[in-house]
Structure 1
Amino acid sequence: METKDSNGNILNEGDSVTLIKDLKVKGSSTTLKRGTVVKNIRLTNNSAEIEGRAGGSVMVLKAEFLKKA
């Protein structure tokens, strides 16, 4: 199954994406701000999620809160 961003664009390994909404990080007091760019993403087994480096650490993010950069 294909991983799609909030606009319906297909995401691929190594793409860059931008957050479309402020996201609170579970288990941490940090918040990822809208407009943050996540570069060189990796796809996961779940088509609704991607993995990427944001806020200084590797995180799993929901594709519904991202748009292709």
Structure 2
Amino acid sequence: MEVKDTNGTLLQDGDTVTVIKDLKVKGSSAVIKRGTVVKNIRLTDDPAEIDCRVNKVAMVLRTEFVKKA
């Protein structure tokens, strides 16, 4: 299974990515700002999603909103 970021670059476990768009966090009033760096991502069974920790909170991000740093 190949997991690609918004630019088509292959992603792997442990990569560092950057958020390309302000994202509202579902179930919260928090927002992940554009340019936020997310380190040490983990791939999931779904090629369109990655597991990560943003500001010490575990969450799932869509690969269409990140680019490899």
The TM-score normalised by the length of structure 1 is 0.97
For structure 1, which runs of at least 5 residues remain unmatched after alignment? Answer: none
- Correspondence for 1:24: 24
Give RMSD over aligned pairs. Answer: 0.6
Query: CA-to-partner distance for each residue in 1:1-41, whole Å, 9 max, x for gaps?
Result: 21100000000000000000000000000000000000000
- Would you identify which runs of 4 or more consecutive aligned residues in structure 1 move more than 2 Å? none
TM-score by length of 2: 0.97
Q: Determine what percentage of the aligned residue pairs are the same residue.
A: 65
2:3 is aligned to: 3
**Does the aligned pair in 2 maintain the 1:32–1:55 contact within 8 Å?**
no
Aligned counterpart, 2:64: 64
Aligned counterpart, 1:46: 46
